[in-house]
Every structure is written in structure tokens, then in C-alpha cells.
Amino acid sequence: MNFRLLIIFLSFVAGNICIAQSNPFAISQAGLDYLTGQALFEKTWVSAPSSTRASDGLGPLYNARSCAQCHENAGRGKPEVALIFRVDDEYYGKQLQTRAVAGLPAETQITISYSSRIEVLSDFDEILLYQPHYQFLDMLTEPFPFSPRLAPSLAGVGVLETIPLTEILAKADPQDGNGDGISGRAGLGRFGWKADVINLEQQTGLALSVDLGISSELFPNPEGDCTALQGDCLSRSNGASGQDQNLEMGQAAFSSLLSFLRNIPLPAINDSNRSSNSGKAVFENIGCMSCHQTGYVQGSINPYSDLLLHDMGNALADTLDDELSKEWRTPPLWGLSAYQQAAEQYYLHDGRARSLLEAILWHGGEAESAKQAFAALSKTDREDLISFLQGI
Ligand code: HEC
Ligand code: HEC
């Protein structure tokens, strides 16, 4: 009822001040879709059967109860909930789920410990870097190939989706034809830390299925990531029967969720002070922009990423896939400004870096020479570069 009043009020105002708008209702409808999508993003799912049929279907296996639990305010997650482990296993499926509905054991519990090493900078400042080590409890098979991945910020994902594929492919240089030591290669798609997901529709379907255990049109199996070998898991009741298209999330809700994702705003850029201006020049001069690129669609889209995969060296490698183990998609750096107030910060694919400085010092492989150049900078230049990053 409130929404209806709001729509009428908005069209009335638009009419009065003569904004040229052919169909004000269409705009309000999009706004409503966004709000519905946001509510779905934040909604806490429960296991079936429950009295609230529209919110049940969680699991049987899951990692969290809502999208927002991992992507807080559509931002980056914290490792304790939002660090997931991709696997490729006959028994465990595509991902390890650390939670399960009542009566069903979760697949594992994971503990993280860190070893540290010292990186010395030009002015003899010493920085500690922490390498994570994982222990998987109660699993049938170990050691286990896996790929840890922390939930990234979703600010601007809708804009990334609109970059024409040809512009991304134009930046790829898989054989390093130009001899700059950097050989970006295109992944299967542009989303995810391995650039293996084509678009937001796929990513949302996948997240619903493997992170929450919710079925939708693209991944219609209500058991989510339970495999044929996990009989106990398959026998649990689900929230699909009797629902729209027998899906735990029907098409209408799914498309509202997408319209929310496509319109998550980017934070305002704050790069106008002296240090961030000079920091931007340093960022360009030492080679950061070979990968953290800008200038798509005639310069209107500037994510600071080429959305390509790069060999980042052994220290960052996972163990899931030999061919791709050292390769990671350049993460977009826009939106970092919104994260700077966070009391604890987590950077890189597994959240191991606790500051921008640490994140940069972990760069290796194709980024080794940029990292060396960074470590050799004067303290002022280094701080200016970081202050530039903090403002974008
Ligand atoms: C358990 C934690 C978790 C939950 C719950 C979760 N995500 Fe994610 N999300 C992640 C992780 C981790 C990644 C990175 C995945 C990868 O790299 O393969 C990710 C990636 C994404 C991306 C791609 C971002 C990019 O820049 O590549 C989108 C979009 C997304 N999630 C949307 C959603 C939506 C929508 C939901 C709810 C249906 C959701 N996520 C639920 C952890 C989570
Ligand atoms: C060869 C390509 C390449 C170059 C050159 C490069 N980066 Fe990166 N950068 C990456 C990739 C890939 C990652 C993600 C690695 C990971 O998560 O394991 C990354 C991650 C980051 C992150 C963390 C982002 C996040 O969301 O957690 C920051 C900050 C960053 N780079 C800054 C820089 C700076 C500053 C420079 C120049 C000194 C630089 N990068 C040079 C490819 C590159």
C-alpha cells in the first residue's frame, strides 16, 4: 500500500515540474524491482518445510542463509562466513558446505592458521605477510585439491557486465606478443576470481545453488550441491514442490534479484587531493595499469581491471586445477573507498592481506616487476599510491 502511494506521488511531482518522461510508471516499476531484489538479497532463508513457504528451501547443504551474509551491504565478506572452498569431487561436489539443515552433518569445518614472512622495503621498513594454511575436519578424503575464494564487493558488477566482450579480448595477450612480461588471458567469462562465469544471471543461479542450496531455473536441482553419493542429503525435504515452476526461487523473484545486482551503485571517487593525484601517476609509472586497466566504452567505464587472468606466482596459487592454479582475474579496484572504514580489512582472493600494502606485496609472477618497483619506491611515493587507491 505504501509503495502504491509512493508511485502516485512520484508521477504527480514529475508531471508538475514537467520532466520529459514518457512513462513515469516504468521508472517506478524499475525502482520497485530493485527494492524487491534488494529484499531478496538480504532475505534469510529457512529450511523446508516451514510456515513461510516463500522463504524456505535452504540447503540441505549450505554456506550461509542469505546473499548479504557473505556480501555485507553488497560489499566484501569476512573470511569467517564468506570464504568458500571450490572443489571438484565426486562425493563433495563443486564446493564444500560448512553448514547443513538440522540432523544432517555439514561436509566439513575449516580452521585457518597463518605462517608469516618478512618483506623488506627500500627504506628498510619491514612488513609481515601472512600465508594461510587450512585444516579440513571430518572429511573422507585428504589431502584435497581446493580453491579458496572470498566474497568480493558487488559494487559496479552491473557496469562490468555492460563492457563489450570485444573490448576485453582486445586487451588479452596470451603469448605475450608485445614482450612486456604480462600475458593476460581471457577466462571463460568475466566474473569470479577465476573469470569463469559469463554473466550475472549464471553467477546468481550458481550462488543460489551452491552457497544457499536454493533452486532456480538455471540450476533447478533443489538439493543444490548434494551429489549422487550423498544419499542422506538427497533424502531431505525441499521447498520446491507446489511453488512457482517447482523452483525454490521462481523467475519473477530471480529477475528482481538480478535487477538489484545490475544497479548496485559505485561509491563516489575521491582522488582530488595532492597525494592521490601524485599517487595515480606513480600507479601508472610502475606498471600497475598493465593489468588494473581503465578506459572501456570511450573512457566511460574505469574499473582498474582488464578482467583477464594472470599468473600471480606460486605463493598465491591454489591446488584445484594445475593449469589455472596460479592464475587469477585482475580484481577491479574501483569501490575501494567504501571499504576503508572497515575495522578489519581482507584483500586478495582468500582475504590473506590485511591492508592494501600487504596485498601489493603479495604480487608475484607476471606482476613481480611491478611489485619490485613498488618496494623500491620512496616512502612518500608509496604512501601517495596507497592514498590514491583508498580514494577510488
Ligand atoms: C557463502 C558466501 C556467499 C554467499 C552466500 C553468496 N556469495 Fe556471491 N560470492 C561469494 C564468493 C566467494 C564469490 C567469488 C566466487 C568465485 O570467485 O568463484 C562470489 C561472487 C559473486 C559475484 C561475482 C562478483 C564478481 O565481481 O566476479 C556475484 C555477482 C555474486 N557473488 C552474487 C551473489 C548473490 C546474488 C548471492 C545470493 C543469491 C550470493 N552471491 C551469495 C560468496 C558468496
Ligand atoms: C600482472 C597483472 C597485475 C599487475 C601488474 C598488478 N596487479 Fe594488482 N592484482 C592482480 C591480480 C590478478 C590480483 C588478485 C590476486 C589474488 O587475489 O590472488 C591483484 C590484486 C590487487 C589488489 C587487491 C585487490 C582486492 O580486491 O583484494 C590490489 C590493491 C592491487 N592488486 C594493486 C596493485 C598495484 C598497486 C599494482 C602495481 C604495483 C598492481 N596491483 C599490479 C594483477 C596485477
- Over residues 220-258, the pLDDT tens digits come to 998 999 999 999 999 887 777 667 778 999 999 999 999
Q: Which atom of ligand 1 is nearest to the CA of 157?
A: 26
DSSP, collapsed to helix, strand or coil, labels residue 108 as: coil
Give me the count of residues in the chain. Answer: 392
- 42 grid coordinates: 538480504
C-alpha to C-alpha distance for 197 and 190, rounded to whole angstroms: 6
CA of residue 247 to ligand 1 center, whole Å: 20
* C-alpha count within 13 angstroms, C-beta hemisphere, residue 291: 32
Residues 328-339: what's their mean pLDDT? 96
C-alpha to C-alpha distance for 215 and 221, rounded to whole angstroms: 6
CA of residue 34 to ligand 1 center, whole Å: 18
Which residue's C-alpha comes closest to atom 32 of ligand 2?
Answer: 360
Residue type, 382: R
Residues 120-147: what's their mean pLDDT? 91
Question: Domains of the chain by range and CATH?
Answer: 2-42 (no CATH), 165-196+267-391 (1.10.760)
Confidence (pLDDT) at 25: 52
How remote is the C-alpha of 173 from its chain's centroid?
A: 24
Confidence (pLDDT) at 23: 54
- 227 grid coordinates: 551429489
Whether the CB of 288 sits within 6 Å of ligand 2 = yes
> pLDDT, tens digit, for every residue of 99-112?
999 999 999 999 99
Q: Which of 207, 209, 206, 213 is nearest to 104 (CA)?
A: 213
Whether the CB of 210 sits within 6 Å of ligand 1 = no
Residue 17's pLDDT band (boundaries 50, 70, 90)?
very low
> pLDDT, tens digit, for every residue of 161-175?
999 999 999 999 999
Residues 114-140: what's their mean pLDDT? 93
C-alpha to C-alpha distance for 112 and 131, rounded to whole angstroms: 10
Measured in degrees and rounded to the nearest 5, phi and psi for residue 26 equal -60, -40
How remote is the C-alpha of 269 from its chain's centroid?
A: 20
Confidence (pLDDT) at 3: 39
- 81 grid coordinates: 562466513
CA of residue 330 to ligand 2 center, whole Å: 6
Ligand lying nearest the CA atom of residue 58: 1
| CB contact set of 18 (below 8 Å; sequence gap of 6+) | none
Ligand lying nearest the CA atom of residue 149: 1
C-alpha to C-alpha distance for 199 and 245, rounded to whole angstroms: 23
Is the pLDDT at 195 greater than 60, yes or no?
A: yes
Residues 208-227: what's their mean pLDDT? 95
Confidence (pLDDT) at 143: 66
Is the pLDDT at 285 greater than 80, yes or no?
A: yes
DSSP, collapsed to helix, strand or coil, labels residue 247 as: coil
CA of residue 292 to ligand 2 center, whole Å: 7
Which residue's C-alpha comes closest to atom 15 of ligand 1?
Answer: 192
> Of 16-25, 149-158, 224-233, 287-296, which range is least confident?
16-25
C-alpha to C-alpha distance for 7 and 86, rounded to whole angstroms: 44
> Of 77-91, 200-214, 262-276, which range is least confident?
262-276
Q: Which atom of ligand 2 is nearest to the CA of 193?
A: 17
Which residue's C-alpha comes closest to atom 11 of ligand 2?
Answer: 330
Confidence (pLDDT) at 367: 98
DSSP, collapsed to helix, strand or coil, labels residue 110 as: strand
Q: Which atom of ligand 2 is nearest to the CA of 332?
A: 26
Confidence (pLDDT) at 144: 83
- Whether the bond between 145 and the residue before it is cis, its omega within 30 degrees of 0, is no
Is the pLDDT at 315 greater than 80, yes or no?
A: yes
C-alpha to C-alpha distance for 196 and 369, rounded to whole angstroms: 27
Q: Are the C-beta atoms of residues 137 and 110 closer than 8 Å to each other?
A: yes
Residue 26's pLDDT band (boundaries 50, 70, 90)?
low
CA of residue 94 to ligand 2 center, whole Å: 26
Whether the CB of 192 sits within 6 Å of ligand 1 = yes
Which residue's C-alpha comes closest to atom 30 of ligand 2?
Answer: 360
> Of 16-30, 63-77, 210-224, 230-244, which range is least confident?
16-30
C-alpha to C-alpha distance for 62 and 173, rounded to whole angstroms: 38
Tell me how crowded residue 248 is: count the other CB atoms within 10 A of its CB. 29
Confidence (pLDDT) at 113: 95
Alpha-carbon distances of 356 from 18, 36, 124, 182, 211, rounded to whole Å: 48, 35, 18, 22, 28
C-alpha to C-alpha distance for 130 and 119, rounded to whole angstroms: 11
Q: Cell match 583508498: residue?
A: 390
Measured at the CA of 95, the angle between CA 92 and CA 101, to 5 degrees, comes to: 75
This prediction's pTM: 0.92
Q: Cell match 578424503: residue?
A: 141
C-alpha to C-alpha distance for 161 and 127, rounded to whole angstroms: 37
Q: Which of 364, 362, 340, 342 is nearest to 353 (CA)?
A: 362
Q: Which atom of ligand 2 is nearest to the CA of 329?
A: 12
Residues 60-65: what's their mean pLDDT? 97
Helix (H) or strand (E) holding 36: helix 24-42
Whether the CB of 159 sits within 6 Å of ligand 2 = no
Confidence (pLDDT) at 27: 61
DSSP state letter for 268:
P
CA of residue 316 to ligand 2 center, whole Å: 11
CA of residue 208 to ligand 1 center, whole Å: 9
- If one residue of 292, 311, 314 were mutated to test the ligand 2 pocket, choosing by the most ligand atoms within 8 A of its CB, it would be 292
Whether the CB of 153 sits within 6 Å of ligand 1 = no
Residue type, 299: G
- 95 grid coordinates: 564446493
